Amino acid sequence: MDSEDDMHDANDIESLDDDFYSGETEDAPMDYYSDYDDDPDDYFDDADDSDRVESRRPEQNFTVLMEPDIRQRQEDDITRVSTVLSISQVAASILLRNYNWSVSKVHDAWFADEDQVRRTVGLLEKPVYENPNARELTCGICFEAYPPSRIQTASCGHPYCFSCWGGYIGTSINDGPGCLMLRCPDPSCDAAVDQDMINLLASDEDREKYDRYLLRSYIEDNKKTKWCPAPGCEYAVNFDAGSGNYDVSCLCSYSFCWNCTEEAHRPVDCGTVSKWILKNSAESENMNWILANSKPCPKCKRPIEKNQGCMHMTCTPPCKFEFCWLCLGTWSDHGERTGGFYACNRYEAAKQEGVYDETEKRREMAKNSLERYTHYYERWASNQSSRQKALADLHQMQTVHIEKLSDTQCQPESQLKFITEAWLQIVECRRVLKWTYAYGYYLPEHEHAKKQFFEYLQGEAESGLERLHQCAEKELQLFLNGDSPSREFNDFRTKLAGLTSVTRNYFENLVRALENGLCDVDSNGAASSKATLSKNAAGSSKGRGGRGKGAIRASISSRMADDNHWSCEQCTYANVRSATACQMCNQQRR
């Protein structure tokens, strides 16, 4: 898509200077995630960090910094420069501020031309202004005469009284972060006003503000660090370029893209995301109705409110019609029981038949393009709100239900971990699925094969997720309501854990395929895959080994090799040997 943008972004990241000291900085702060990896119980018991499902990825290329960590790093950098250059700490701090807190840049510049560096940052070696050796000195701001004890000077020697310094420094601090680069008041003088002078001359309140600016500068001017963009969050993230994966998750549970600071959007690239967000704000007035939380039942027309996360709706009695929130179609068409091809994710433009005149055609096209956008936007937005709901449910699970369930079912909490895992999976999958709709919207219409392959993978992933979400939401409810151990609980465990793993596989495939730019299609002849997939769309469960399928099976087979199980052709679930049909999707064993 926006390949130029991407290139640009990538270069930005690559151009991060690799501090030659970074090796030492690395192990200084705590590595939260490796702690969690060692002790999985810790990980899940920590109720607030629900988003951290992502951090389980092995290549951890970021570190979350809390204020003490930031101060520590800042202090370490200052000390390092101060030691190597044999200058004071405050001088080192001024140097680092001028070179975006890059230790290596300071060193390079200093050893290349110390005099030049001193001149530009305002670190004078000796005064440029000789105070006449008098009993009284005249302040250069109020022009009053003072005894030398009531006069202060920066390294340059220009004399100002304490009260004028106080006013000068205070004005600058209240003007904003520019105070970090404050120079001598003399217009022809560049001498820096260092932190020692600030501490000596500024009011307590101003000193605190200055200190804040200094801390912020360490994060904001440093190319390797950013504040977490979540409202109210005070953590920062240090990012090490390399893996090409920009998703980071903060300890506050917010996941965001380090490159564009939007909410995490893997596997969709930053350019697509920013285009999509722009589009959404342009269309927001047209789309308000989509965010409404109720729709008329397609059968009895009574308004039905959506108060759960999964898209499977059941109308209130006596109607009890089961339908899909997104397309308002019968739920039984959605692949669960029929094993049919899940097609709710696909947008089909209305057939244009008959003769249109020009205006009519144009109106029809405009309507189509809005309809098309609406299709994708509604699915994007529904997955977003569904994810919010799932996050809340996950939290509720961790804080209330698990404990209760442990009592009623007489199961140790450690054996209920499969429930938390299911919810973590749902939250992450909703996020990925949401962004695949932005991806789908921008996937060129004419790339038929790619489009079909994509919709196939997306449809499989989505229908798996709907099954999982429904199971975690509705079937679990039965046990939450019960008050004694239930014999069905073990079956439920098997089913939920199975659905979790199946859904994870589907999404891993989807993510991998999108990150490869759907190139599997190109390499194997677009025409054939198109044919196979459209046949599948008709509902036949046979011959579903199209391109997509092959790729999926190949990538999963390794973990399914086990004599006591057979792997379902359709959903990949590992069924016990005795089962003749898949326990997940009812597909017959072949």
Partner 1 sequence: MQASRARLFKEYKEVQREKTADPDIQLVCDDSNIFKWTALIKGPSETPYEGGVFQLAFSVPEQYPLQPPQVRFLTKIFHPNVHFKTGEICLDILKNAWSPAWTLQSVCRAIIALMAHPEPDSPLNCDSGNLLRSGDVRGYQSMARMYTRLAAMPKKG
State the nearest-atom distance from the C-beta of 164 to partner 1, in Å: 7
Selection from Zn ion, partner 1, none that 526 binds (CB < 5 to 8 A by kind) is none
**Neighbouring C-beta atoms of residue 447, cutoff 10 Å:** 15
**Neighbouring C-beta atoms of residue 260, cutoff 10 Å:** 17
Does 66 bind Zn ion (CB under 5 A)? Our answer is: no
* Span interacting with partner 1, options 126-134, 184-192, 238-246, 504-512, rule CB under 8 A: 184-192
Task: Figure out which of the listed residues 7, 28, 134, 142 binds partner 1, where binding follows CB under 8 A.
Answer: 142
Does 344 bind Zn ion (CB under 5 A)? Our answer is: yes
Q: What is the DSSP letter of 416?
A: G
Bridge partners of 138, per DSSP, are: 145
Does 141 bind partner 1 (CB under 8 A)? Our answer is: yes
Helix (H, G, I), strand (E, B) or coil at 526: helix
Decide if 375 contacts 347 (C-beta within 8 A): yes
Q: Which is nearer to Zn ion, 75 or 144 (CB)?
A: 144
Does 164 bind partner 1 (CB under 8 A)? Our answer is: yes
By the 10 Å C-beta count (0-12 exposed, 13-18 middle, 19+ buried), 281 is classed as: exposed
Interface map 494-533 toward Zn ion (x if CB under 5 A): ----------------------------------------
* Torsion angle, alpha carbons of 171, 172, 175, 181, to 10: 180
Q: Which is nearer to partner 1, 171 or 528 (CB)?
A: 171
Selection from Zn ion, partner 1, none that 143 binds (CB < 5 to 8 A by kind) is partner 1
Angle, CA 143 vertex, CA 141 and CA 149 arms, to 5°? 85
Does 144 bind partner 1 (CB under 8 A)? Our answer is: yes
Residue among 257, 310, 429, 585 flagged as catalytic: 310
Task: Figure out which of the listed residues 91, 94, 184, 287 binds Zn ion, where binding follows CB under 5 A.
Answer: 184
Bridge partners of 64, per DSSP, are: 237
Report which residue type is found at 455: E
* Span interacting with partner 1, options 47-55, 163-171, 456-464, 488-496, rule CB under 8 A: 163-171
Does 78 bind Zn ion (CB under 5 A)? Our answer is: no
Selection from partner 1, Zn ion, none that 321 binds (CB < 5 to 8 A by kind) is Zn ion
Name the residue among 266, 256, 196, 265 with its Cα closest to residue 230. Answer: 256
Does 168 bind partner 1 (CB under 8 A)? Our answer is: yes
* Span interacting with partner 1, options 158-166, 229-237, 245-253, 531-539, rule CB under 8 A: 158-166
**Neighbouring C-beta atoms of residue 329, cutoff 10 Å:** 13
Dihedrals phi, psi of 313, to nearest 5 degrees: -105, 145
State the nearest-atom distance from the C-beta of 167 to partner 1, in Å: 5
Q: Which is nearer to Zn ion, 300 or 392 (CB)?
A: 300
Structure tokens belonging to residue 496: 């939920």
Selection from Zn ion, partner 1, none that 492 binds (CB < 5 to 8 A by kind) is none
The 3-class secondary structure across 145-170, one letter per residue, is EECHHHEECCCCCCCEEHHHHHHHHH
Question: Which secondary-structure segment (H or E) carries 322?
Answer: strand 322-324
* Span interacting with Zn ion, options 33-41, 102-110, 290-298, 380-388, rule CB under 5 A: 290-298
Task: Figure out which of the listed residues 326, 390, 443, 518 binds Zn ion, where binding follows CB under 5 A.
Answer: 326
Residues in the chain: 590
Decide if 587 contacts 339 (C-beta within 8 A): yes
Selection from Zn ion, partner 1, none that 327 binds (CB < 5 to 8 A by kind) is Zn ion
Does 187 bind partner 1 (CB under 8 A)? Our answer is: yes
**Neighbouring C-beta atoms of residue 469, cutoff 10 Å:** 27
Decide if 228 contacts 252 (C-beta within 8 A): yes
**Could you confirm whether 142 is annotated as catalytic?**
no
Interface map 301-320 toward Zn ion (x if CB under 5 A): --------------x---x-
Q: Which is nearer to partner 1, 185 or 309 (CB)?
A: 185
Q: Which is nearer to partner 1, 24 or 175 (CB)?
A: 175
Selection from partner 1, Zn ion, none that 424 binds (CB < 5 to 8 A by kind) is none
Report which residue type is found at 240: D
Decide if 522 contacts 476 (C-beta within 8 A): no
* Span interacting with Zn ion, options 118-126, 282-290, 299-307, 450-458, rule CB under 5 A: 299-307
Question: Which residues lie closer than 8 Å to 446 by C-beta, 6 or more apart?
Answer: none
Decide if 502 contacts 569 (C-beta within 8 A): no
Q: Which is nearer to Zn ion, 298 or 550 (CB)?
A: 298
Does 95 bind Zn ion (CB under 5 A)? Our answer is: no
Decide if 459 contacts 345 (C-beta within 8 A): yes
Decide if 544 contacts 335 (C-beta within 8 A): no
Does 136 bind partner 1 (CB under 8 A)? Our answer is: no
Residues marked active site are found at 310
- Residues at the contact surface with partner 1, assessed by CB under 8 A: 140-144, 158, 163-164, 167-168, 171, 185-187
